[in-house]
Amino acid sequence: MSLEAAINLSIPELLRVLSEKLGQECTRVREIPLPPVLASIATLEVEVSNYTFGQSLSKATVTVSNGQPFQIESLEARVQDVLKLIPSLRNLLQPVNRLLPETLSRIARLTVNEDAIDTGSIVPLTHVCRYWRESIVSTPGNWTLVSSERFGLAGLSMERCLAVPLELGWTCPRSERIQGSLL
């Protein structure tokens, strides 16, 4: 089912389709911890299963089994939020994202060659998707290589590397080195 078609469904139908679809796909990636988006869908599903649709739909309200009124607009907004997260979810289900966070971090560290002065080569990997970003950023060992030549990245790295021993490169500015070599 396309996203456009899904948006035209009624909320209960949409939630039923979503939960079925996501439920099936999620069983394929049991190894991956339940991400926030799935958790919120699961919560939503529980809430909706508790609704009893009364005759007051024209007032845009439904009666919840425990007697609390619930605004359809609010529910709709939350579904829209969930829909926006579908691309992230789709990324998560890609085979490459079944890699464990430790493996992703290991790969990230391999991008730093022997002559590298800092972890600049890792940064683009954190822009690929949320899962990669969380996996790579949350591994302190990825951020131990720090250089005075890139002040901004140095600060970020020191923040992320926590208590892992630092590899610090400290050099004078390039302009001074060039000047020194000419003298």
Partner 1 sequence: MSQVRENPGFSAMITPHTQNIGTLRIDCISIEELAQTFPDFPRSMPNLRSFSFSPSLRLNHDLSTDPFEAFTPALTHLSLEFLPLYPSLLCLRMLTDLTIRNGPFFDIHLDTFLDFLEGNRALERANLDIRLKLPFLQNLRGRDPFTNRLKTLSISSNAAGASALISRIALQRGATLEVSCDGGAKLSDILSVASGVAHLPNLREATFMEYHPDHRTFRLVGPNGTFSFSLANGRGNPFSEFHLLHLTHVRAFHFVRREVVRNPAENPDRPSPNEFLPSSFPALETLAIEREIHTPILFAAIFSNPPTPPSLKIIAFLDCQLDDGFLEALTQYASNRKNTTSAPLHHVVIVNSKGDLPRFASIGALGRHVPVVDVRIGEKLPTDLI
**Cα–Cα distance measured from residue 180 to residue 93, given in angstroms and rounded to the nearest whole number:** 54
182 binds partner 1 (CB under 8 A): no
Question: Is 99 a binder of partner 1 (CB under 8 A)?
Answer: no
Q: Does 163 bind partner 1 (CB under 8 A)?
A: yes
Contact 37, 82 (CB under 8 A): yes
Judged by CB under 8 A, does residue 151 bind partner 1?
A: yes
| Cβ distance to partner 1 smaller for residue 23 or 155 | 155
Residue bearing tokens 């923040």: 159
Q: For partner 1, which is the closer residue by CB, 53 or 151?
A: 151
Closest residue by Cα to residue 72 from 82, 86, 87, 58: 58
Query: Degrees (nearest 5) of the Cα angle 65, 69, 75?
Result: 95
Q: Tell me how many residues contact partner 1 (CB under 8 A).
A: 21
CB of 151 to partner 1, least distance (A): 6
Interface with partner 1 includes 171 (CB under 8 A)? yes
Q: Of 9, 38, 144, 182, which lies in the binding site for partner 1, with binding defined by CB under 8 A?
A: 144
Calpha distance 160→144 (Å, rounded): 8
CB 125 within 8 A of CB 136: yes
Sites of contact with partner 1 (CB under 8 A): 144, 146, 148, 151, 154-155, 158, 163-173, 176-177, 180
